[in-house]
């Protein structure tokens, strides 16, 4: 078998494995917001600004939880003129 054929076969197997793994944990993730996290007693454990200066990553910890929550916050200049709509956040658990 050629090296190219072997690479294609391994790539296809990886796609199948990732698809199967996604189906096992099909539970909807908990939705978080930065304001909600701070209000519920979460503390900032880390912060990393983006090199392009358009966004950042914030890591949150809670004394009663055994996982972190990571939020990405991005300033999107292409959105509406209202400042609140230009900030896009995505928060998710890191276990």
Delimit the domains of the chain by residue range.
29-94
Residue 5 CA: distances (Å) to CA of 10, 17, 19, 89: 9, 18, 21, 41
Phi and psi for 9 in degrees, rounded to 5? -65, -45
3-state secondary structure at position 9: helix
pLDDT digits (tens, 9 = 90+) for 17-51: 433 344 444 567 788 999 999 999 999 999 998 87
More confident residue, 46 or 5: 46
- Report CA torsion sign: 59, 73, 29, 17: negative
pLDDT digits (tens, 9 = 90+) for 43-93: 999 999 887 767 899 999 999 999 999 999 988 778 777 766 778 899 999
Task: Answer yes or no: is pLDDT of 12 > 90.
Answer: no
Distance of CA 95 to the CA centre of its chain: 12
What is the average pLDDT score of the chain?
76
């Amino acid at each position: 078998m050629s090296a190219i054929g072997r690479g294609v076969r391994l790539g296809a197997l990886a796609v199948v494995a990732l698809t199967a793994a996604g189906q096992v944990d099909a539970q909807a993730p908990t939705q978080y917001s930065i304001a909600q996290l701070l209000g519920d007693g979460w503390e900032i454990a880390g912060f990393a600004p983006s090199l392009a200066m358009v966004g950042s990553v914030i890591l949150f910890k809670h004394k009663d939880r055994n996982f972190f929550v990571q939020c990405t916050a991005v300033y999107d200049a292409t959105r509406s003129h209202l400042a609140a709509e230009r900030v896009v956040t995505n928060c998710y658990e890191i276990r």
